Amino acid sequence: MSTVSPVFEAVDNRLVQRGSGYLAQAIRYRAFFAYWIRRSLAVRYRQTSFGWAWAVFEPLWSSLIYIVVFSFIVRVNTGPVPYPLFIILNVVLWNYFNRIVARSTTSITSNVDLLSKVQFPREFLPLGICAESATDLAIGLVITGSVFAYYHFLPPAIAPLAVFALLVETVLALGIAFYLAALTAIVRDLLIVIPLVLQLLFFLSPVIYPITSVPVFVNRFYFLNPLTAIFASYQETLLYGQFGHWKELLGTGAFAVVLLISGYQVFKRLEWQFADLL
Amino acid sequence: MTQIVQAEHVFKSYNANPKLEMKHLLQWTGQRFSGRQRLSGASRYTYVLNDVSFEMEQCDSLGIIGNNGAGKTTLCRLLASISLPTKGRIRVEGRVSSLIALGAGFHPELSGLENVYLNCSIMGLSRKQTASRVEQIVQFAELGEHIDVAVKRYSSGMLARLGFSVAVHLDPEIILIDEVLAVGDYGFQVKCLAAIREFMQRGTVVFISHDLGAVERLCKRVLWLDQGQVKGYGPSPDVISQYVAAQQRVIAAPAQESNEAPVGPEQTVLREVFDESIGVHDVETCDARGAVQSEFQMCDTLVVRCSLTASKPTRDLRIVIGLVDVESQAIVTAANNQMLEHPDAFVGQTRIECRFPNILLRPRSYGVYVGISNAKALMPLYTWRDTHARFFITGAKPEPRLHYSPPQSDLTFTPGVEMRYLSVNEGG
């Protein structure tokens, strides 16, 4: 424990910062963050009979539905890539984004007990959601890997570049998560609105269909959706082997960084309201 | 000496930001367009804390008392840096360990031991630092094998044990305790108070409790909050006795002045009639000169007057007049033997006056008890008891100054109580 005592000073609804900024404070609590994530993961499936098997089953189930619908009923042309392979990769990557955004809306409201009684850096709540979703992603990627192996599909040489898309996706999701976590505490309506928006985004982004199937004339507007560039990059780097949309990805990345920084600021400004509003 | 805790003109309102609420915004726009009246209360400020100021030095101890909803917990939340004051300044220097509510910071699915780790990490301890304390914490909590059970299965007493144990072992500089010890069993409460006392050697304590005895014993100073405002702030015995006196007055109020509801003295009397022929009426409390009064000071003379009727001749009557506290516990009783020694059977009506000179009662409110029994047969015939306070003691006269410490018994020896009959009307 540090020898210097922390000082809490507040005047007229404002916190008077002393010495350490937000990040320094968050770092001081790193042991808690580590424990918090471990605990969220430990508790997650504790009461279920099948435990972590659910983490495997969940992405498989939704992929299976899309496979049945889009390769037998409505045919989606994915070129040389087998559709099941295409879909499981995209669904796993979509779930990552979807989980962070959807769960962040409840990250504040579902932890009332902690927020109203204990002081700790509040950003750990959305960050914890992010870490939890990353675990799901890791499991999903292992599943995807085995599907790749099953089809004897060798990813193209530029596959490692997908890391950039993943980075952009994470930053974007986290930025949105900070905004939503803070705003949902104030405007509860977002709890209902956000799943609807996510549903729309799911169909507006190239998740269940390849980017190449989008008509060229809508392309300009289509890339206004930041997820388009991310999923286009995934498809290009991991499946098709030509990274055509890297410029769009860079643009989206810049947007995501701005979103994350401003989202964090907004979150820190509003965090004092949480305990009072809930 | 440096001030560890400072609160300067602190105001706290929970609806200070009505603009932030979409609902209000929509309401407001709706009203703009429909031209209807503004909904009341939509943006009215209500202060949960209203101009609260106090200071604490190192190793100081402050008790916060007040009725439910007075703002005690809100103040505690401000001190624990969970929320910010709407207006005014709060400054707390040092690591704060707070026990604001039962099971705060505990995860219901995790075991007691896992929660100890979680709680320690919330307080900013590293895993290594935690590991070195776990043994002490577990030992202090005395939960036995329950320490490995999920916390959701804990009783509130067990939660309090674990919570308190973690809080004191975190080695904080300031500890906030908000009425969580009350659910612990007697043994644990004693242990906690000892631990707090020990902690006070090196740290600062803010103690919120309705156990005024504990507050007085633990805290040097007391802050009395009433509807968010500071009603009293100063040395513990003074503020606590002011608070108690005010509380007792509130309890006494329904019996004293009833504006609308018929809760007059007669309605708040509990009568137990074992013999229909006996009756007790017109019980009054008067001062030394015989004027009916309901407010007395310590060391005043208090006179209880009543009339006793018997519709048929009754022998061996024994009369007990007592002063009872609000919980109906007898504080002072006076019994007569004159009636008993009277050779004739009593019939008709008599006025009885019982004089309690120099009443040494704590400033609280009290009721009156009149009991009529057959002394020979040891049979109760009639009891008359106030269920609400009838009079209250407002405090000591300036001279002589009496100091009471709460741990002592309430029972006070009142010498020289005399009971006499003013008149005996022998009836037919």
Give the pLDDT of residue B17.
55
Give the pLDDT of residue B319.
85
Q: Which residue of A has its CA nearest to B127?
A: A31
Q: Answer yes or no: is pLDDT of B365 > 90.
A: no
Mean of all residue pLDDT scores within chain A: 87
Give the pLDDT of residue B16.
53
State the smallest CA–CA distance between residue A263 and chain B in angstroms: 17
Segment of A104-118, A232-246, B114-128 carrying the highest mean pLDDT: A232-246
Asked if residue B351 lies in contact with residue B305, where contact means CB atoms within 8 angstroms, the answer is: yes
- Residue B428 CA to residue B425 CA, distance in Å, equals 10
Q: Which of residues 275-334 of B touch A (CB under 8 A)?
A: none
- Which residues in chain A touch residue B125, judged by CB atoms under 8 angstroms apart? 1, 31
Q: How much is the average pLDDT of A36-56?
A: 83
Q: Answer yes or no: is pLDDT of B37 > 90.
A: no
E strands present in A12-163: 14-15
Q: Answer yes or no: is pLDDT of B345 > 80.
A: no
Asked if residue B128 lies in contact with residue B208, where contact means CB atoms within 8 angstroms, the answer is: no
The verdict on a CB contact (< 8 Å) between B92 and A189 is no
- Residue B424 CA to residue B426 CA, distance in Å, equals 6
Asked if residue A136 lies in contact with residue A95, where contact means CB atoms within 8 angstroms, the answer is: yes
Q: Answer yes or no: is pLDDT of B260 > 60.
A: no
Q: How confident is the model at residue B259 (pLDDT cuts 50, 70, 90)?
A: very low
| Whether residue B400 has a cis bond before it, omega within 30° of 0 | yes
Give the pLDDT of residue B422.
54
The percent of residues in chain B predicted with pLDDT above 90, rounded, is: 10
The answer to whether ipTM exceeds 0.85 is no
- Residue A81 CA to residue A110 CA, distance in Å, equals 41
Q: Answer yes or no: is pLDDT of B18 > 60.
A: no
- CB-CB neighbours of A94 under 10 Å: 26
A215-224, B32-41, B126-135: range with lowest mean pLDDT: B32-41
Asked if residue B314 lies in contact with residue B279, where contact means CB atoms within 8 angstroms, the answer is: no
- What residues does A271 pair with on adjacent strands? none
Pick from B5, B25, B46, B81 the residue to mutate for testing the A interface (most A CBs within 10 Å).
Answer: B81
Q: How confident is the model at residue B262 (pLDDT cuts 50, 70, 90)?
A: very low
Q: Which two tokens stand for residue B93?
A: 């220097």
Give the pLDDT of residue B267.
58
Q: How confident is the model at residue B303 (pLDDT cuts 50, 70, 90)?
A: confident
- Residue A135 CA to residue A37 CA, distance in Å, equals 10
Asked if residue A201 lies in contact with residue A172, where contact means CB atoms within 8 angstroms, the answer is: no
- Which residues in chain A touch residue B105, judged by CB atoms under 8 angstroms apart? 113-114, 117-118
Cα dihedral A224/A230/A232/A235 (nearest 10):
-170
Q: Which of B103, B84, B60 is nearest to A17 (CA)?
A: B84
- Residue A42 CA to residue B110 CA, distance in Å, equals 9
Give the pLDDT of residue A138.
94
- CB-CB neighbours of B240 under 10 Å: 21
State the smallest CA–CA distance between residue B102 and chain A in angstroms: 10
Pick from B6, B20, B179 the residue to mutate for testing the A interface (most A CBs within 10 Å).
Answer: B20
Give the pLDDT of residue A55.
85
Asked if residue B308 lies in contact with residue B283, where contact means CB atoms within 8 angstroms, the answer is: no
Q: Which of residues 137-176 of B touch A (CB under 8 A)?
A: 171, 173
- Residue B131 CA to residue B349 CA, distance in Å, equals 79
Cα dihedral B215/B218/B220/B221 (nearest 10):
-20
Name the burial class of residue A108, with classes exposed (0-12), middle (13-18) and buried (19+) by CB atoms within 10 angstroms of its CB: buried
Give the pLDDT of residue A198.
95
Q: How confident is the model at residue A42 (pLDDT cuts 50, 70, 90)?
A: confident
The percent of residues in chain A predicted with pLDDT above 70, rounded, is: 96
Domains detected in chain B: 260-426 (2.70.50.60)
Give the pLDDT of residue A256.
97
Q: Answer yes or no: is pLDDT of A230 > 80.
A: yes
Q: Is B342 left (phi over 0), alpha (psi -120 to 50) or beta?
A: beta
Q: Answer yes or no: is pLDDT of A11 > 50.
A: yes
pLDDT tens-digit series, residues A104-119: 998 888 888 788 878 8
The verdict on a CB contact (< 8 Å) between A117 and B101 is yes
